[in-house]
Amino acid sequence: MATGSHWYAGGPEVVTNLVARNVSCKAITVEGQNLTAGDRYLQIFDSNTLPVDGSVPLYSYLIGAGLLFAKTLPGPPPEVGRRMQNGLVIAWSTSSATLALAATAVGPIYADGQDLAPGGT
């Protein structure tokens, strides 16, 4: 897969979601922390804007209260990283199967990857 420049998104702010990229990309890792007193689901979407509640994520990970997490997204072997056609959005949800955006900020989210080169596959 042809890839362009490497990128890093996110920061220490406590958030409910992160629009990490709004262009085609290869998402490699996602990390952060659930700073709430309850379990939340970290959901990953192939989108360039925040999906509406009820949207089905590509991935949904249970993150326990107070826990740090780091996820490497799978790619076709032997590569790592998931190709995202539209972009990368990460959100904290109270539901596992569909997005139920957390009503209050949950914790920081960081992501890194590579943009797809123009004409890349």
- 39-72 tens-digit pLDDT: 999 999 999 999 999 999 999 999 999 999 999 9
For residue 19, list its beta bridge partners: 89
Q: What global pTM score does this model have?
A: 0.91
CA dist 91 and 111 (Å) reads 12
pLDDT in the model for residue 119: 55
DSSP H or E run through 41: strand 40-46
Nearest to 5 by CA among 118, 117, 119: 117
CA dist 16 and 105 (Å) reads 5
For residue 118, list its beta bridge partners: none
Write down the residue that tokens 């990460």 correspond to: 90
